[in-house]
Amino acid sequence: MKKRDRLIKMDNVILFPDYDKRLMEKGLDRLHEKKYREAIELLSEAKCFNPDGEDIYVGLVLAYFESGNLVEANRLAKEMLQAGIGEYFHIVDMYIMILVQQHQYEEIVLTIEALLEEREVPSEKLDHFMKMLQFSRKMVQEKPEFPEPIPSEQEEEELEFDLFDFFDQGDQVQIAGKLANHNARYYIEEISNYIASEKGDPFFKTMLLNVLKDQDYDKEIIVEKFERHLTIIPNQLYDVQLHPDLLSIIEQVTEVLENNNPILLDSIKQLMERYFFLLYPFRTEIDLPRAWAAAFHFVTLAYFGQEEKLDKIAEMYRAEEKNVSEAISLISRIEEISYP
């Protein structure tokens, strides 16, 4: 009899098979509903029965992170790395994300330097880690842009800065991190003007939207990106990593590549995540997931210098070639605007 088929016994109470799985599913549901305290309770209980469960660990890290308990999120992510739980580089990315929010740039430097020395970094992630290493070294050497902590509300109100002065993505990450640790409502005029402006960087706009969303900002603001306009209420937005179009397209690509080319699949996912981070909170202009999946496949191969006929890739995804071509044009347009 398999272990998972047996009843679980704990403190003389008999639990049904897959009890940990059901706890995990309920916990993840609460996480998606932003009921972080309930998610933590359910996932912590699930962890008691399945202490090495990757999804349970990741759910707990995200729940603590979203609830603002960065110390516990940090501890669990580090625990995963030490115990070898989960896909290593995915957990490293998550750990570094937490360190950025904690402004622990020295720890980021040490982590990435050790990573480069001791492990074989996938080629598609090397540039990402090198940029983060360069940015963190810069942050260690430079003083923060804002005084920290700000001791009174009056000082927060008097703080002046111009978001249009920040062009480097490293600087933008720093400013967004500072705003996340302060009451962004004091700067809402500056933030909303930037997000509504045609001149604002779409990457920075997404980060600022996430700051407002995380701080439960409930007033309407206008978002301008790529000559499109949208009126939104930040606290009603879906999470950027849960963009509905992204999820549906990932499903199509996974169906085609998961078993025969997982490395290419990971590269395509990274391109898609970057694209939808920039597009957020807008939806795709073509509501055809298969066409988009084929388009991202084609563009990713082109980045690697690999040529493949468009009609062949369209056929792989059972998509119309003209729709794939249109999606490729939209991807290329945003890539050119955002990374000139």
Amino acid identity at 186: Y
Q: What is the CATH number of the domain that holds 276?
A: 1.10.472.10
In three-state secondary structure terms, 223 is strand
**The last residue of a domain, from among 102, 119, 141:** 102
pTM of the model: 0.56
Tell me how many domains the chain contains: 3
Shared domain check, 258 and 321: yes
Would you state the pLDDT for residue 338?
Answer: 61
Would you state the pLDDT for residue 51?
Answer: 81
**What is the domain extent for residue 87?**
3-102
Name the pLDDT band for 253 (thresholds 50, 70, 90).
very high
Domain membership of residue 333 (yes or no) is yes
- Is pLDDT larger for residue 143 or for residue 207? 207
Buried b / exposed e over 307-333, threshold 16 CB at 10 Å, is eeeeeebbeebebebebbebbbebbee
Shared domain check, 277 and 218: no
User: What is the average per-residue pLDDT within 170-194?
Assistant: 83
Domain membership of residue 86 (yes or no) is yes
Which residue, 38, 62, 29, 24, is CA-closest to 240?
62
In three-state secondary structure terms, 10 is strand
Would you state the pLDDT for residue 19?
Answer: 60
Query: What's the N-to-C CA distance of the chain in angstroms?
Result: 59
- Is pLDDT larger for residue 178 or for residue 262? 262
Instruction: Say if residue 206's pLDDT is above 60.
Output: yes
Would you state the pLDDT for residue 113?
Answer: 86
Shared domain check, 328 and 252: yes
* C-alpha 309 chain-centroid distance: 32
pLDDT digits (tens, 9 = 90+) for 62-72: 988 888 888 88
pLDDT digits (tens, 9 = 90+) for 9-61: 444 333 444 666 888 888 898 888 888 888 888 888 788 778 888 999 999 99
Instruction: Say if residue 1's pLDDT is above 70.
Output: no
User: What is the average per-residue pLDDT within 208-230?
Assistant: 92
Instruction: Say if residue 311's pLDDT is above 50.
Output: yes
- Is pLDDT larger for residue 142 or for residue 246? 246
Would you state the pLDDT for residue 165?
Answer: 87
**The last residue of a domain, from among 72, 102, 132:** 102
Would you state the pLDDT for residue 319?
Answer: 94
Name the pLDDT band for 280 (thresholds 50, 70, 90).
very high
